Amino acid sequence: MRHRRSRNLDDASIGEIVGIVDGCTGPLTWQLLIEAIDERTRVRYTRQALNNHERIKLAFAVRRKALKAAGVPTRIATATPEHAALLQVNARRDAEIERLKAENARLLEQFVRWAYNANNRGVSEEVLNRPLPAVNRDSSLRRPALIKPLPLQAAPLRQSLPRGARATRGS
């Protein structure tokens, strides 16, 4: 049986997958993540497809590191289901905070790199701080004055040769 190709990952689905990674409380592997995504969204992606997106890759690495540091208990012994739900919500928020810190650090590094490159190219701070130009949304409503097309000039007709005769260059 042939599997259909999964839909492309857009920002919304990447955010949902990152949320799944943040909520992981047990052992975290690519295969377990793929199964969790399939169970939640009914879409199955490959490890390579997930690994191609920086946010997913970063969330996976940060969460896996946090789980290893915590020792990842296989089961949480709790007195009540409400307590277990609160612990799970807390773990998800902690994971999201760690992921956002790592993502923020990556964006700050990118900003420093951009500032360095802009400085090397002689782009001043004033140029970088200029506001964006206003969008002219009325331009599609007004039609420009119609310009009369130029009259077409007739192209010279090619003379047809009798059957079997060949044309020579220059004639």
Read off the pTM: 0.50
3-class secondary-structure state, position 22: helix
pLDDT digits (tens, 9 = 90+) for 81-129: 787 788 888 888 988 999 999 999 999 999 999 999 998 999 988 888 8
What is the distance between the alpha carbons of residues 47 and 2, in angstroms, rounded to a whole number? 18
Q: Are 100 and 15 in contact (CB under 8 A)?
A: no
Query: pLDDT (tens digit, 9 = 90+) per residue, 9-37?
Result: 899 999 999 999 988 888 888 999 999 99
Highest mean pLDDT out of 3-7, 26-30, 58-62: 58-62
Distance CA 162, CA 158 (A): 13
Q: Which spans in the chain are helix H?
A: 11-22, 30-41, 47-51, 54-70, 81-120, 125-128
The residues, any chain, with a CB within 8 Å of residue 67's CB and separated by 6 or more, are: 24, 27, 28
Length of the chain: 171
Tens of pLDDT, residues 139-158? 665 555 556 666 666 555 55
In 54-106, at which residue ranges do the beta strands (DSSP E only) sit? none
Backbone angles phi and psi of 120, in degrees to 5 = -65, -30
Q: Output 139 or 62, whichever has higher pLDDT.
A: 62
pLDDT at 81: 78
Question: What pLDDT does 56 receive?
Answer: 94
CB 95 within 8 A of CB 25: no
Are 14 and 37 within 8 A, CB to CB?
no
